[in-house]
Every structure is written in C-alpha cells, then in structure tokens.
C-alpha cells in the first residue's frame, strides 16, 4: 500500500501538473469506487477547476473551485497516472477505472488492480468534520509534531506492540509496513517490544528515525516493491536504500546477520536480531 512518502510524492507532482486545470469530463468504469451515484459525481466534478492538492495521512485531497473536494485513497494497488502528449507509458487498461479529462487535452488515470481504492466527493466546508470522524493521528512531518506529543502517544498505549502502534492511523498518520520496519531498524528497536518498555532515549531515537526515513523516502519518490508508481508512471527509487523491509534472509547492511521476518497482527515485520534490541 502506498504510504506517506508515496502519496506525498504524487501530491507534489500533481500540484505541478493538474492544479489550475478545468475538468471537461469524467469517465467512471467502476461505480463502487465513488461514494455518490455516477451521474451525481460527474455533474459535481465536470466544469470545476482544481484549485489545490493536499494530503492527509495516505489520502489525497483535490480541492475544487465549486466548494467540493475529491478525496482519493489508493489503498493496496491504486495508481494515479497523469498523461499528456509527451507522457510515456501505457494507455488505459482494464484496471483503469476512473479517467479525468481536462479541457487542455491532458488526462488523469486512476488505476487499481485489486479495486480496494476509492474516491469520495465531500463538500470542502465539511472536511474538518470528516477528519474528526476519521480520528486520524498527527502528521509525523508536521512542524507541530514534537517529541513530547510522540512520547504521550506511546504512554497512552503502554501495552501496545510498537510496530502495530506505529502503523495505527489513529495514533500516527501515514506510516505503514515499510516505514515502520525501517524506522525501528534505524532506532535499533525490535518490532515486538511493547511501548511501555521503551526508554526515553529510545523514544527520542525512534522519533528522529521516523522523520529521517520519511524525508529520505520522499526525496527518492517513495518505494516501489510491487505496484506503486508515481504520477508519471515511474517507480520510486528508495527500495535500494531499505535496511530490512522485504529483505528477509538477506544479510543486514550493518552487521551481516540475516534479516528475520515474523507475523505481527497479520502483517509482516522485518528486523535484524543483532542490531535491534
């Protein structure tokens, strides 16, 4: 699933390519991906101009000039591909479920192999209420997100296992399987430890590691392990920099011990049994 760095990459790219464009038409091939009847969804979006693109957690927000916003969650296999006359890449396929046509001839394809992704039209004025209902945690890269707040999150859930806690969107927004593994490795903390066992110095290291890893991943346009590509159809290039994620059985880049994988709450956790304690 695209996590914060991947969604942030797409947000930054689309901010340069589609902000200011007017929607000429929308083709919806899979009705279940939108939250309104297809005709109503199209009527609301067609003719509107995209004013701004934002991100909250793993969700993209397209603010329109008609006081509506389109929220897009890519889930497991979603892709948003921008196409103009100069774009290289495949044309729409059987996995292209929504197409935005802009008045200047460019297009935006929403592809989704597994069909778990969605788009929701919500009145912009109602977004704050929507986020409150979702109860998303703080953004880890926000300037206001500090060590004290992070410490309080861990103290409020002392019995929580640290890796699932980092992935809990109600605790901290945007972190998933990849970057929880990587952050815990950099902080030298086993993914199986409970929050209550972390000492202040370890909490500080983990707090810094989360920011460090996320920023580096954004710089390299995210991690492509399976289906993720950016809005230009290009793979992210952070995968070669991964320390533990998806590297089970391979030697640790620090100590050469074999990376171990285990299941935690139905998700894989990768770690170095020598470097992480």
Residues that constitute the known binding site for DNA: 95, 114
Taking a C-beta distance cutoff of 8 angstroms, is the pair 261, 40 a contact? no
Q: Pick the catalytic residue: 21, 55, 58, 107?
A: 58
Q: Pick the catalytic residue: 24, 188, 253, 267?
A: 267
DSSP H helical segments within 187-274, as ranges? 200-219
Specify whether 3 is catalytic.
Answer: yes
Specify whether 2 is catalytic.
Answer: yes
Taking a C-beta distance cutoff of 8 angstroms, is the pair 255, 167 a contact? no
Q: Pick the catalytic residue: 3, 6, 119, 182?
A: 3
Residues 272 and 25: their CA atoms lie apart, in Å, by: 51
The CA-based angle 227-233-237, given to 5 degrees, is 70
Residues 201 and 208: their CA atoms lie apart, in Å, by: 11
DSSP H helical segments within the chain, as ranges? 4-17, 38-45, 127-134, 147-156, 162-167, 177-186, 200-219
Specify whether 58 is catalytic.
Answer: yes
Residues 134 and 116: their CA atoms lie apart, in Å, by: 18
And the tokens for 189?
Answer: 């903390």
Annotated active-site positions, please? 2-3, 58, 267
């Amino acid at each position: 699933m695209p996590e914060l760095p991947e969604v942030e990459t797409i947000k930054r790219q689309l901010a340069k390519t589609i902000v200011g464009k007017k929607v000429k038409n929308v083709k919806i091939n899979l009705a279940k991906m939108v939250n309104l009847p297809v005709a109503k969804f199209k009527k609301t979006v067609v003719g509107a101009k995209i004013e701004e693109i934002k991100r909250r957690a793993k969700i993209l927000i397209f603010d329109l000039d008609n006081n509506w916003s389109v929220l897009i969650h890519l889930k497991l296999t979603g892709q948003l591909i921008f196409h103009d006359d100069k774009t290289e890449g495949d044309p729409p396929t059987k996995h292209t479920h929504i197409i935005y046509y802009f008045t200047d001839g460019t297009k935006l394809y929403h592809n989704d192999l597994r069909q778990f992704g969605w788009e929701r039209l919500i009145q912009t004025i109602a977004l704050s209420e929507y986020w409150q209902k979702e109860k998303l945690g703080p953004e880890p890269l926000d300037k206001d997100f500090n060590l004290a707040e992070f410490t309080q999150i861990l103290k409020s859930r002392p019995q929580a296992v640290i890796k699932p806690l980092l992935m809990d969107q109600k605790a901290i927004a945007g972190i998933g399987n990849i970057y929880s593994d990587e952050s815990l490795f950099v902080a030298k903390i086993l993914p199986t430890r409970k929050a209550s066992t972390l000492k202040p110095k370890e909490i500080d290291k983990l707090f810094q590691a989360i920011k460090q890893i996320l920023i580096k991943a954004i710089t390299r346009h995210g991690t492509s392990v399976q289906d993720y590509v950016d809005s230009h159809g290009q793979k992210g290039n952070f995968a070669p920099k991964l320390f533990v994620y998806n590297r089970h059985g391979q030697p640790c880049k620090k100590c050469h011990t074999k990376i171990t994988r285990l299941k935690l709450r139905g998700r894989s956790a990768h770690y170095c049994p020598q470097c992480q304690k």
